[in-house]
Homo-oligomer: A and B are copies of this chain.
């Protein structure tokens, strides 16, 4: 292979494990592996000062090309001399390529050989993210390590889709390298192939033909089972060259990281430490601590007596409990500071054990503690798993209620009422009426027909709206129907936001429309030409002028209306 720009030096291999320790040199610093990279999506790690990250041992921060391309934009980095002076970060920076984010947008992008087209959430522009644009942006950002633009697919994709994705990723890898030109920045290729070992091999072999400075394992941590992830990680890491860093993207919990080091991975990034901090979860030497629990209210102990971070040096559990309960930003800051320090300390211990060739012993010890719940204050009743990308259990005036043995409920706190969270068209009272409205006049094609406009005045958790969409989908599968434009008018999207951030409890929300309409205000079906949904948010009196009309149906009106009504005609 070509010489690495990173001057990668393998220092030690652990006996009885694939774990390894190495150093490499970026444009800014010397990096010791294995290492964890905190995520600074917007050129800032959530609620963390750069000096505190540096003190806790952060060596490389990960920044997101997708977000930084949209805001502040590459021109700002050009003007400011790159991300390092911009955010005053003395360490190294790795930028992802934007691929993962683009392919996570459910309905808002289109893919072609040239790149992926998506719409900016900042100003609505349509942008073609090509390998060339990704690399140009990463060059403007001035990261130490750039990632090729890859095509991400769910790890559970079928073989055909997985092969197509890795093949386009390979072609884009060639274009990415070409786009680097004479930049001294390093570049990593990304191995795809979902959960198919032979595809992983095909992908790795293709990429290893190219002069990359390191290799990433992509397409994991996106929905597969833990065992599948670990197996695929192990198989893939074993395919990669010894003399290049190996980076497992988006992984994971401290336990996941430990397992992946054991399987030969050197580098990791994940939002978990700062994300769970906001909800009051801490990783500690005594298991996972939920600082919101009342058991900590009066505790003058530090969060983790074995930790040397400044939050543990200075503050009591009682104070952190109070800050997290009152949702004070200082609480997120201190809890995040601790969690990041915990990851780095774990990586330092792992590295030391590899250098001293006692990794396996450490691995067995740490495995136990890293999967433990709070050892000092065990939780007796069953709880939902702690780590999840979920937001809190409360948004606005709505609360998620998880009672053991009962379906999850969303409750309007002030009134105590349960918000409907089903979209069963066989139960939905208006299904028949809607089917009638959708019928195409005999002499018209769908293109000629007047669109059916429906107003939804009780968005709630989008139960009626999704029922209407499902009815449309069913009717249109039987034959041509009128186009349908659903318009939800609401003051308060909290119930829907809450349901969407706990989607696993609400099967009807697996339909992607609600996600999109909430994020972008508009959703258009990719498969059914005539189907769209708009969300107008604001007081009804203020937004009504924007609503297309006239409406032929209104959803969410109390059912007790017994005679036709009109607001414009006098009685």
Q: Which residues of A contact B (CB under 8 A)?
A: 42-44, 46-49, 67, 71-72, 75-76, 79-80, 86-88, 297-298, 300, 314-316, 318-319, 321-323, 325-326, 328-333, 396-397, 412, 414-420, 430, 432-433, 436-437, 455, 457-458, 460, 463-464, 489, 491-493, 495, 536-545, 547-571
Contacts and interface: CB of A to CB of B under 8 A. Distances in A.
Main secondary structure of the interface of A (DSSP, over half): loop
Contact of A326 (B42, B49, B80): B42
Given A46-B329, A329-B333, A539-B495, A80 B417 contact: no
B567 A561 contact: yes
Given A322-B72, A491-B491, A539 B330 contact: no
A357 to B, nearest CB: 41
Contacts of A489: 558
Closest CB pairs A-B (n = 9): A549-B560, A415-B538, A417-B542, A544-B558, A564-B564, A458-B540, A417-B538, A47-B329, A550-B562
A412 B493 CA distance: 13
A284 B42 CA distance: 26
Contacts of A322: 42-43, 71-72, 76, 86
B559 A567 contact: yes
12 contacts: A88-B319, A329-B329, A412-B542, A414-B538, A415-B539, A419-B539, A419-B541, A430-B567, A540-B558, A545-B558, A551-B561, A564-B564
Given A71-B326, A300-B79, A541 B491 contact: no
Given A333-B333, A397-B491, 7 more contacts: A329-B329, A412-B537, A430-B567, A458-B541, A460-B540, A551-B560, A561-B568
Contacts of A561: 549-551, 554, 566-568
B328 A414 contact: no
A79 B298 contact: yes
Name the residue among A319, A489, A556 with the largest chain B CB count within 10 angstroms. A319
A493 B314 CA distance: 39
B414 A537 contact: yes
A450 to B, nearest CB: 12
B549 A318 contact: no
B553 A48 contact: no
Nearest to A458: B540
A550 B215 CA distance: 65
A48 B331 CA distance: 10
Contacts of A557: 457, 540, 544, 554, 567
Given A76-B298, A542-B412, A330 B49 contact: yes
A177 B323 CA distance: 31
A547 B560 contact: yes
A463 B541 CA distance: 10
B325 A571 contact: no
A396 B494 CA distance: 11
Contact of A333 (B42, B47, B396, B436): B47
Nearest to A83: B319
A235 to B, nearest CB: 38
Most B CB within 10 A of own CB, among A71, A79, A458, A547: A458
A332 B396 CA distance: 22
A105 B549 CA distance: 42
Given A72-B322, A559-B544, A412 B539 contact: yes
